[in-house]
Every structure is written in structure tokens, then in C-alpha cells.
Amino acid sequence: MKIYTYHTPERVPADWQPDCAIAVDVLRATTTIATALAAGAEAVQVFSDLAELEQVSQQWPAAKRIRVGERGGKKVAGFDMGNSPAECVPERVKGCRLFMSTTNGTRSLERIQTSPLVLAAALVNRAAVAEFVQKHQPATVWIVGSGWEGNYSLEDTVCAGALIHYLWGQQDAPLETLAGNDETIAATALYRYYQDDLLTLFHHSSHGQRLLHLGNEADLKYCAQVDILAIVPWQVSPKLLTKA
Ligand code: MLT
């Protein structure tokens, strides 16, 4: 297995496809997706375009749809939810489909939608996703961070590193045999440095700061937890994710 890490969807190569592509948006889209599926949501359908989301979700029974819209860390006016995993409790989401559009995370999922196996990972479901990958043994894996509007983000890179570190732990080989690019080595180093204090890393990060200013400290604490959900969100048809 060779793992290639990309910090943003813009950096993903245009001329080849991996056997498996994993989208990461720790703060907060992929954490919210894993949490919603763990709480019994039927599926999560992602959109980069809000108007398309509104039009497609219109065709779904009103009692079974939840429109999740986030821009700049804030809930989009008129939507049912912002992008907080704290809102994804069973009483709210069980049996419902989430129609979701966020600033960056849903764009990553859209960018990798044509890969044969598409997964969504966060710290909360890191081990579940890594075990799934380990079991399926794809020859090539992309881990695609969402970043912020085309720029690098610490939190997605540390999550990529957490995934790689877990997969590396299953092998008796040096990291360079697993690493397809230098970003994979760097992400692992970042995780090894911060693994016991991920919340501090979130406080250092620009999007962590943005969420703190918006009063979302509880979300940072939740998203910094590792391996608390045994959920693997996987794509069953383009941009539609359910539990594997
Ligand atoms: C995003 O897609 O950029 C995020 O998930 C933003 C957020 O809701 O914190």
C-alpha cells in the first residue's frame, strides 16, 4: 500500500486516480458526518452548491430531511442545522437524510467522488477507517485534507497523520515504504508531536481560532477525541455516504 497525502482538494493530481480516497475535514464536516451516521442518520448527501442542495432535498420527504448549511463557520440562514456535530443526536437525526454543504469539506468529497472507494475520516473515527483500509488493502490511497479556501490546515494534516500512524503500526516496515509523498511523512511527524495534546493544536489552528471566536469551544473538544466512533462513512453513489 502507498499513501499519498494532499493538504487541500486543489492539490489532488488530475491525471490519475487512487484505489481508495479518504476525505478529511476534522473541523468539522467529516466529524459531523461520522457523528450523524453513528446517531442513526440514514445517509449524508453532500453538495458544494447551496442552490442545488435546496433543489435536490426538496424531492425528499420533509420529515426525513435535514438541511445542513455552513459558510465561514456559521449556519446558513434558512437551513435546519449548521455544521456542529453536537446537533447530530439520535433524537434529531435518526432515520433522516442530511443534505449538507460546507465551506471546504463537501468540496473535498466532491473532488474525489469518482474514486472506486471513497471514505470520510476524522479523529473520532480514525481507527475504524484505518481498520477498513487495512482489511481492503487498496494498492494506492489518497488522504485529502479540506484546508480552508485552498490553504493548508493543521487539523486535517494531523488527522491524516493519525490515520497513517495507525496503518504504519500494522506493518513491520519503515514509514517510507508506506509513504507515496513527502506530505505523508510530514503529516505523521505532526501527529507524533501533538498526539497527546490535539486540542492544543486545534487552538493553534486558524480555523480553530475562527470557531472559538464563534463560541464553538465544545465542538473543538469533541472533534479532538480519537477513536470514539466505530463508523466508516463510505460513498455508495456519487456524493452519497452511508455506514459501511
Ligand atoms: C468546512 O467545510 O469548511 C468546515 O467543516 C467548516 C466548519 O463548519 O467548521
Q: Which residues line ligand 1 (CB under 6 A)?
A: 25, 27-29, 70, 73, 83, 102-105, 146, 211
What's the gap in Å between 211 CA and the centre of ligand 1?
Answer: 9
CB 33 within 8 A of CB 110: no
At 3-48, the pLDDT tens digits run 999 999 999 999 999 999 999 999 999 999 999 999 999 999 999 9
| Interval 230-236 mean pLDDT | 98
C-alpha of 190 from chain center:
18
Q: What is the pLDDT of residues 164-197, one digit of tens each?
A: 999 999 998 999 999 999 999 999 999 999 999 9
pLDDT of residue 90: 98
Give the atom of ligand 1 at the shortest distance from the alpha carbon of 107: 2
Confidence (pLDDT) at 107: 93
Report residue 244's pLDDT band, with 50, 70 and 90 as the boundaries. very high
Q: What is the mean pLDDT of residues 76-101?
A: 98
Say how many Å lie between the CA of residue 151 and the centre of ligand 1. 13
Element (H, E) at 134: helix 126-136
Ligand 1 atom closest to residue 84's alpha carbon, by position in its atom list: 8
- pLDDT, residue 200, reads 98
pLDDT interval class at 85 (50, 70, 90): very high
154 close to 193: Cβ distance less than 8 angstroms: no
Tally of helices (H runs) and strands (E runs) in the chain:
11, 10
Instruction: Give the nearest ligand 1 atom to 32 CA.
Output: 5
Report pLDDT for 53.
Answer: 98
